[in-house]
Chains A and B, each alone.
Chain A
Amino acid sequence: MYKYFEPNKIFAITSRAPKYVLLLFIVVLTIGLTEALILSPEDYKQSDAVRIMYVHVPAAWISLGIFSSLALLSIGSFVLKNKNFALISKSLAPSGFIFNIIALVTGSIWGKPTWGTWWAWDARITSMLILALFYGMYLLAWRIYEEKEQAIKVTSMIAILGVINVPIIKYSVDWWNTLHQPPSINILSNNSIHVSMLIPLCIMTAAFTLFSLLIFLMKYNTELIKVKNKGLDRL
């Protein structure tokens, strides 16, 4: 099955896709921003400060999702000895890191009007900061190690070790007394968030997912061309 996902075969798609993804991203983001900033209602407690949720929550979700993917791909790269998995992980990491930073910064901005402080060493915030450190180490390792085999080993170890932090982030609000509220959205049970707020949240999540797909495709193409550049040297 993996032969269908060989870089040589999928490059024709990955090199053409970014312009369409960019267009779709702009459309979905425009709808999402209109919903989030104008059409959605204010919260009865937090008033308009609640609108920060529409950038903070999707950014946090996607940064967690991407890091989990990095760990899965790293395990896959170890077990199946497929170097393309490492290339995919390397291309996913930059957008995951940016989303992590966005979640931390917008969370801090949201914290001031709601909790009265920019920062607290609360379990959720601290574990998100640790995730940012793992992302930082992961990206740095790709730059530090020039030998590809060694870089794949080190980055895979970082991703596998770092993924232990993901369930800690998810359940930190249940395990410890934190400033964060318990989750408002649950796939298995009823949501405590009203549909008028859930719709913009879903649209913004879709827009952010499209952005991470766009960056992934561009980065993946860059990495493939890098490999082909080395191939030209060997001719």
Chain B
Amino acid sequence: MIKEIISMNGYGAYVWSAFSFTLISFISLYFVTKLQLSKEQKRFASKFGSLNLEKAKTARTQNINREILSNISKV
């Protein structure tokens, strides 16, 4: 059974390479996108950390900023 699945009636090299290429593309795109996201989150955290108390208070009034900070703390 496993031998049949691997050989695919002689078309195994074509079928498996097509599926492997697709999965490798998915994994690569996922990790590149995840890396970009965490890079931006880190940049946001460091910028927020360098704000003085008054500016930080102003920034915290925006829901989205609070949401970003809460996501960073989860990471």
Interface size class of B (residues with CB under 8 A): 35 or more
A229 touches B40 (CB 8 A): yes
Contact with B along A1-17 (1 / 0, CB 8 A): 00000011101100100
Chain A residue numbers with a CB within 8 Å of B9 are 42, 47-48
A174 to B21, CA, bound (A): 30
Which of B10, B26, B48, B59 has the largest number of chain A CB atoms within 10 A? B26
**Residues of B near any A CB (own CB < 8 A):** 5, 8-12, 14-15, 17-19, 21-22, 25-26, 29-30, 33-34, 36-37, 40-41, 43-44, 47-48, 51, 55, 58-59, 62-65, 67-68, 71
Select one of A37, A101, A218 contacting B33, CB under 8 A. A218
A232 within 8 A of B: yes
A102 to B63, CA, bound (A): 39
If over half of A's interface residues share one DSSP class (helix, strand or loop), that class is named, otherwise mixed; here it is helix
Considering the complex, which residues of chain A in the window 185-235 have a beta carbon less than 8 Å from any beta carbon of chain B? 211, 214-215, 218-219, 221-222, 224-226, 228-229, 231-233, 235
A14 to B68, CA, bound (A): 11
Select one of B10, B26, B29, B68 contacting A94, CB under 8 A. B29
A94 touches B18 (CB 8 A): no
With contact pairs A42-B9, A228-B64, A235-B51 given, residues A59 and B22 touching in the complex (Cβ less than 8 Å)? yes
B30 touches A48 (CB 8 A): no
A221 touches B43 (CB 8 A): no
B14 touches A112 (CB 8 A): yes
A55 within 8 A of B: yes
Select one of B15, B18, B34, B64 contacting A224, CB under 8 A. B64
A89 within 8 A of B: no
Considering the complex, which residues of chain A in the window 56-107 have a beta carbon less than 8 Å from any beta carbon of chain B? 56, 59, 94-95, 98, 101-102, 105-106
A-B contact pairs, 19 of them (CB 8 A): A11-B68, A15-B71, A37-B15, A47-B9, A48-B12, A48-B15, A49-B14, A56-B18, A98-B25, A102-B22, A109-B17, A211-B26, A215-B30, A222-B40, A225-B40, A228-B65, A231-B59, A232-B47, A232-B48
Min CB gap A234→B, angstroms: 10
A106 touches B21 (CB 8 A): yes
A52 within 8 A of B: yes
- Given contacts A52-B15, A98-B25, A109-B17, list 11 more A-B pairs with CB under 8 A: A7-B64, A11-B63, A15-B67, A37-B5, A51-B8, A55-B18, A55-B22, A109-B21, A225-B37, A225-B43, A235-B51
Chain B residue numbers with a CB within 8 Å of A231 are 59
Chain B minimum-CB-distance residue to A103: B22
Chain A minimum-CB-distance residue to B34: A218
A33 within 8 A of B: yes
Min CB gap A220→B, angstroms: 10
**Closest CB pairs A-B (n = 7):** A48-B8, A225-B40, A106-B18, A49-B11, A52-B18, A48-B11, A55-B22
